[in-house]
Amino acid sequence: MTNLGLELKVNADLELIKNRLFLGSNLLYEVEGTKDPDHVGAGWEKESIGGVSAALSYRIVPSIFIGAEAWYLRHYDGSFFNAFTGDAIFVGPTLYAKLGPKTFMTAAWNAQVSGHDVEVPGSKFNFGEFTRSRAKLKLAVEF
């Protein structure tokens, strides 16, 4: 199976209380194509996701921020939001820790709290297009 994808994000941050409370947001466009070599003559299966997020982060000590974020994601068949297939809302905690002068770590965990799958009428979650939860861990070192 061959799978190609691209994720594009636009980030914006705002300082609400000087050096203490921050608001962040993201716009997301993700496109993916999959081709199965076992199906001779089959083309690429394409899908796309669009989303928006908002997060609040509070500095509890000089090197540590804790917060919460929410994501709203929409899934489509096709590369450019062609046919809507469902959506989901994720909510969860975030953490930022400055580990040294040029090293930091971020972590986030989100659980799907609501969703809709167009193929499952009356669905309260969308596990057909999205996972039950999402996690992200990032360690960065500048040099």
State yes or no: pLDDT of 131 exceeds 90: yes
Exposed/middle/buried for residue 40 (C-beta within 10 Å: 0-12, 13-18, 19+): exposed
Comparing CA positions, the residue from 46, 44, 123, 134 lying closest to residue 87 is 123
Confidence check: pLDDT of 91 > 80: yes
Q: What pLDDT sits at residue 37?
A: 76
What residue segments make up the domains of the chain, in order of their start? 2-141
Q: Is the pLDDT of residue 140 over 80?
A: yes
Mean pLDDT, the chain, integer: 95
Note whether 75 and 50 are within 8 A (CB): no
The Cα 140–Cα 143 span in angstroms is: 10
Contacts of 84 (CB under 8 A, 6+ apart): 74, 75, 76, 118
Model confidence at 2, pLDDT cuts 50, 70, 90, reads confident
CA distances from 2 to 36, 44, 66, 70, 80 (A): 6, 9, 38, 31, 20
Query: Rounded mean pLDDT of 83-112?
Result: 97
Q: Report residue 106's pLDDT band, with 50, 70 and 90 as the boundaries.
A: very high
pLDDT digits (tens, 9 = 90+) for 39-87: 767 788 999 999 999 999 999 999 999 999 999 999 999 999 999 999 9
